[in-house]
């Protein structure tokens, strides 16, 4: 009888230490008699509660999108990375996102061309350019027109991009009387 009680107490401690919770002892008592010595042994039913630990929900990952970035005179990738992300080492990311446009040499950037920069979708700016009409005059070239309208002759690239179909249809010659689309703001994202 002593041994049975001792075993029951020991088993209770094992259950408590394994479950991490204190078991509740039920009210049911079963009586069992043994054949050998006709002793009565009492057994108590032990129920153990189990529980699961829920991991806290992690915040949703931000959605990223690409936004156009107009290369400025004097830009290089580390300068862009520092200005746009606050981390000059991100130049490698910018290069990998734009390798097809930049080519094999990451030091060769051309002003007024565009790169794609990743932004969180809630930080994307409206970069849709607004235009005004300009009628080509005799003697206009994309070079001098860019200087006069945008203050930089190298911005002829933007004039070409915005009017590519019209320029191609005249074999690259600016025809007096033609109407070009000119941006109100050279870089609408800036």
pLDDT tens-place string over residues 55-107: 777 776 668 889 999 999 999 999 999 999 999 999 999 999 999 999 999 99
User: With respect to CATH, is domain 64-123 assigned 3.10.350.10?
Assistant: yes
Name the band, by pLDDT with cuts 50, 70 and 90, for residue 42. Answer: low
Q: Which CATH class is domain 131-183?
A: alpha beta
Where are the domains positioned within the chain? Answer: 2-47, 64-123, 131-183
pLDDT of residue 123: 76
d(CA 76, CA 56): 43
pLDDT of residue 90: 96
Who has greater pLDDT, 119 or 134? 134
Check whether 20 has a pLDDT greater than 60: no
d(CA 36, CA 4): 15
Would 64-123 and 131-183 be classified into the same CATH topology?
A: yes
Q: Which of 45-59, 64-78, 108-122, 128-142 has the lowest mean pLDDT?
A: 45-59
Percent of the chain with pLDDT over 70: 72
Check whether 53 has a pLDDT greater than 90: no
Name the band, by pLDDT with cuts 50, 70 and 90, for residue 35. Answer: low
Q: Which of 20-24, 80-84, 102-106, 175-179 has the lowest mean pLDDT?
A: 20-24
Q: Are 129 and 188 in contact (CB under 8 A)?
A: yes
Q: How many CB atoms lie within 10 A of CB 55?
A: 5
For 20-169, where are the alpha helices, taking DSSP H only?
A: 77-85, 91-102, 142-150, 156-162, 164-169
Report the candidate in 78, 83, 69 with the shortest Cα–Cα distance to residue 190: 69
> Model-level pTM?
0.59
Query: Average per-residue pLDDT in the chain?
Result: 82
Name the band, by pLDDT with cuts 50, 70 and 90, for residue 111. Answer: very high
Q: Are 113 and 157 in contact (CB under 8 A)?
A: yes
């Amino acid at each position: 009888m002593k041994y049975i009680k001792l075993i029951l107490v020991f088993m209770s401690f094992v259950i408590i230490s394994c479950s991490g919770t204190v078991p509740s002892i039920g009210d049911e008592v079963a009586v069992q008699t043994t054949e050998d010595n006709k002793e009565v042994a009492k057994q108590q039913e032990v129920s153990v509660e189990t529980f699961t630990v829920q991991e806290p929900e992690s915040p949703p990952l931000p959605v990223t999108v690409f936004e156009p970035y107009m290369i400025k005179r004097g830009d290089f990738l580390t300068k862009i990375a520092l200005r746009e992300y606050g981390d000059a080492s991100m130049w490698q990311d910018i290069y990998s996102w734009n390798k097809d446009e930049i080519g094999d040499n990451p030091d060769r950037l051309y002003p007024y061309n565009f790169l794609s920069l990743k932004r969180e979708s809630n930080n994307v700016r409206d970069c849709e350019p607004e235009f005004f009409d300009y009628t080509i005059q005799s003697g206009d070239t994309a070079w001098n027109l860019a200087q006069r309208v945008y203050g930089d002759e190298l911005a002829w690239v933007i004039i070409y991009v915005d009017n590519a179909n019209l320029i191609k249809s005249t074999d690259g010659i600016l025809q007096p009387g033609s109407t070009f689309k000119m941006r109100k703001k050279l870089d609408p994202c800036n």
